[in-house]
Amino acid sequence: MVDVLVRAIGIALIFVSLMALPVSAADNRIIVQSIGNSSGDQRLDPLSDGFSDLLVAYLSAFEELEILYRDDLHRLWQELARSRSGLASTDAIQIGQLIQANTLIKGGFVKINGSFRANVHVYDIETAQLRYSFEEISSIEDVERLASSMAQNIADRLINHGEQTTSFPVDTRPLINTHFMKGLGYYHSGLYDHAVAEFMHVIDLDPARADARKWLGMSYVAGGEHDHARIEFERFLHEFPKHEDGIFVTEALESMDR
């Protein structure tokens, strides 16, 4: 009974924090659910997070879109999942209505004859009706291009009502962000050596990227190189003492010392 009460209070607090978020000028507050692995091959599960992160990163480049993904939403869905047998799309719709989001993005991917086929569905939260669907095919090694293309298509519909934009939003540091997104993709695909190389590229180009330092340490941990991970985590805490991920990094260090 106490656990249920504590969980309910936790959910309520998350709702309150999300309700306080400002609504974007274009009224495009979007919930993005992880793009699920529909292939039946559990070895591809890491690609679900990797592809979802890439899609969100590209969508976030559009200033007119306000993306709600992971963090508070993820914790909220976890709490709901613990109290129910499963988490249906209607749950996300209800959450979206409560936090005044207007769009839900979800989808899945399969592997067919060596190709990566992904589909994304865009729902109107107020009516729970499907607005648009997109499907594209690429090689697994080319998921970054696929995520970029899908984000562009979604933005064209939501921002320009179907009129294609002339180009992807201008990024003042495209090379840095490309390396970072590749690193995320490699990490979630279990290719930790490749992830390390990409995050090191980011840090070489921009030493102030705290997120790259954290993910570099995580890549070392996942690859079993704890000595290197400890160096990166300690450097993170030294260079970014007030960063919001400081608690996570501290806990990661403590877990390695146990």
CATH number for 91: 3.40.50.10070
For the chain, give the number of residues: 258
Give the pLDDT score at 79: 57
Partner residues linked to 121 by β-bridges? 106, 133
Q: What is the largest CA-CA distance in the chain?
A: 56
Q: What pLDDT shows up at residue 64?
A: 87
Whether pTM > 0.95 for this model: the answer is no
What pLDDT is attached to residue 92?
60
* pLDDT of res. 234: 94
Alpha-carbon gap, residue 208 to 222, rounded angstroms: 23
Report if residue 165 sits inside a domain.
Answer: no
**Per-residue pLDDT tens digits of the chain, which is 258 residues long:** 444 444 443 444 444 444 444 444 336 788 888 888 888 777 777 777 778 888 888 888 888 888 877 655 655 555 555 554 444 444 566 656 555 678 889 899 887 777 888 999 998 887 878 888 888 888 776 777 888 889 998 988 888 765 544 444 444 455 677 778 778 878 877 889 988 998 998 899 889 999 999 999 999 999 999 999 999 999 999 999 999 889 999 999 998 877
Measured CA to CA, the distance from residue 230 to residue 254 in angstroms comes to 10
- Are residue 140 and residue 183 in the same domain, yes or no? no
At 218, list the tokens.
Answer: 């995580």
Residues 151 and 37 occupy one common structural domain = yes
Q: 3-state SS string over 10-32? A: HHHHHHHHHHCCCCCCCCCEEEE
Instruction: Specify whether 155 is located in the same domain as 182.
Output: no
Residues 6+ apart with CB under 8 A from 225: none
Q: Running DSSP on this structure, what letter comes out for residue 153?
A: H
Same-domain pairing of 245 and 131: no
Same domain membership, residue 33 and residue 11: yes
Domain count, the chain: 2
For 2, counting Cβ atoms within 10 Å of its Cβ (0-12 exposed, 13-18 middle, 19+ buried), the class is: exposed
> Does one domain contain both 81 and 118?
yes
Decide if 20 is inside a domain: yes
Q: How far is CA 150 from the centre of its chain?
A: 15
**Assigned domain for 169 exists:** no
Cα radius of gyration rounded to whole Å, the chain: 19
3-state secondary structure of 242: coil
**Domain housing 153:** 2-160
Cα–Cα distance, 58 to 162 (Å, whole number): 18
Domain closes at, from 160, 187, 217: 160
Task: Identify whether 217 is part of a domain.
Answer: yes
Torsion of CA 218, 179, 33, 129, to 10 degrees: 180
CATH number at residue 248: 1.25.40.10
Does 140 reside within a domain? yes
